[in-house]
Amino acid sequence: MTDTEATAAARGAGSAGEGSAFRVIEARDLCLTFETNDGPVHALSSVDLTVDRGEFVSFIGPSGCGKTTLLRVIADLEQPTSGSISVNGMSPEEARKARAYGYVFQAAALYPWRTIAGNVALPLEIMGLDKAEREARIKRNLELVNLAGFERKFPWQLSGGMQQRASIARALAVEPDLLLMDEPFGALDEIVRDHLNEQLNRLWDRTNKTVIFVTHSIPEAVFLSTKIVVMSPRPGRVHDVIECNLPRERTLDIRETPEFLEIAHRVRDGLRAGHAYDDE
């Protein structure tokens, strides 16, 4: 048996054992309409989505197609107008109350009166972890995002990209099984972004977390994901779902392989078609 086959078999066994039974996200015919002063905005329109445990799902699509909105519905920060959604088999509200997920916002949203370490400590204090555990987690996660040594700085003393990394460390410190990330690497330079892509891939592979990830970058989506959800705007809906069955553990070189480029090409076509749809 080759390595690839072994992994595939292992994965198959895993999903047969408990994985397939374990739906992290199950959304059916989800609609969300914002009532605004100049008429209703259909942010989500009959969205179907399933995410199993251990998957890495990326949402990609033009600005305003409802990626953030969908993520917020999963996080119970927004109520759907109609349709059903479950998170870990519970309602989003129950899941939120059970602290089922960690959320990285599109902007860093650090508290300006807390130092970087203090910001990472915030969720840990709320969870009631003791000081030693908090400090261990702060150290580990700040190292992971290359912010070791900045513990005592205040947010305004850091660049936008560093602030964003601090907010990623804050979400990771919670050590949730489900990570919801809204364009976490949008504000970063290419090199740091590559590095964090690798880190995130390794973390996901090692811990078997489920990640839902919003991005505008096709290579990033293909590099990280097991499944890419291509969305299109007005009304926001799922245009296509592209399976991305590269090996779980990936290095940046994979981006040069034909398989990678093939998937990237399909994603690009999907995005184009979504746009064309819009123009009609």
Ligand X SMILES: Nc1ncnc2c1ncn2[C@@H]1O[C@H](COP(=O)(O)OP(=O)(O)OP(=O)(O)O)[C@@H](O)[C@H]1O
Residues that bind another protein (CB under 8 A): 75-77, 96-99, 101-103, 105, 107, 109, 111-115, 122-123, 125-127, 154, 156, 174
Can residue 41 be called a binding residue for ligand X (CB under 6 A)? yes
- What's the longest Cα–Cα distance across the chain? 62
The one of Mg ion, another protein, ligand X, none whose footprint includes residue 112, by CB under 5 to 8 A per kind, is another protein
- Of 18-26, 28-36, 66-74, 202-210, the segment contacting Mg ion by CB under 5 A is 66-74
Supply 229's token pair: 């959800």
- The nearest distance, CB 186 to Mg ion, in angstroms, is 9
- By the rule CB under 6 A, 34 interacts with ligand X: yes
Cα end-to-end span (Å), the chain: 51
Rounded CA gap, 39 and 157, in Å? 42
Rg, C-alpha atoms of the chain: 19
Within a 10 A sphere around the Cβ of 207, how many other Cβ atoms? 11
CA 21, CA 254: separation in Å to the nearest integer? 31
Q: Quick one: 14 or 161, whose CB is closer to another protein?
A: 161
Residue 154 neighbours by CB distance under 10 Å? 16
Residue 9 or 127 having the CB closest to another protein: 127
Nearer to another protein, 48 or 125 (CB): 125
Stretch binding Mg ion (CB under 5 A), from 2-10, 60-68, 122-130, 168-176: 60-68
Residue 68 near ligand X by CB under 6 A: yes
Whether residue 146 contacts residue 156, with contact meaning beta carbons closer than 8 Å, is answered with: no
Residue type, 42: H
Q: How far is the CB of 183 from ligand X (least distance, A)?
A: 7
DSSP output for 61-97: -STTSSHHHHHHHHTTSS--SEEEEEETTB-HHHHHH
Element (H, E) at 50: strand 39-52
Contact 47, 83 (CB under 8 A): yes
Find, among 182, 188, 250, 246, the residue nearest to 212 by Cα: 182
236 binds ligand X (CB under 6 A): yes
Any contact of residue 68 with Mg ion (CB under 5 A)?
yes
The residue among 111 and 277 lying less far from another protein, judged by its C-beta, is 111
Which residue number places its CB atom closest to ligand X? Answer: 68
277 binds, among ligand X, another protein, Mg ion, none (CB under 5 to 8 A by kind): none
**DSSP assignment string, 88-121:** TTB-HHHHHHTT-EEEE-SS----TTS-HHHHHH
Between residues 54 and 235, which has the closer beta carbon with respect to ligand X? 235
Task: State in angstroms the smallest separation of the CB of 61 from Mg ion.
Answer: 10
Choices 50-58, 60-68, 142-150, 151-159 (CB under 6 A): range interacting with ligand X: 60-68
Contact of residue 235 among another protein, ligand X, Mg ion, none (CB under 5-8 Å per partner type): none
Whether the CB-CB separation of 124 and 134 falls below 8 Å is answered with: yes
Asked if 155 and 147 count as a contact pair (C-beta separation under 8 A), the reply is: no
Summarize as ranges the residues that interact with Mg ion (CB under 5 A). Answer: 68
Give the residues lining the site for ligand X (CB under 6 A).
34, 36, 41, 43, 63-69, 106, 236
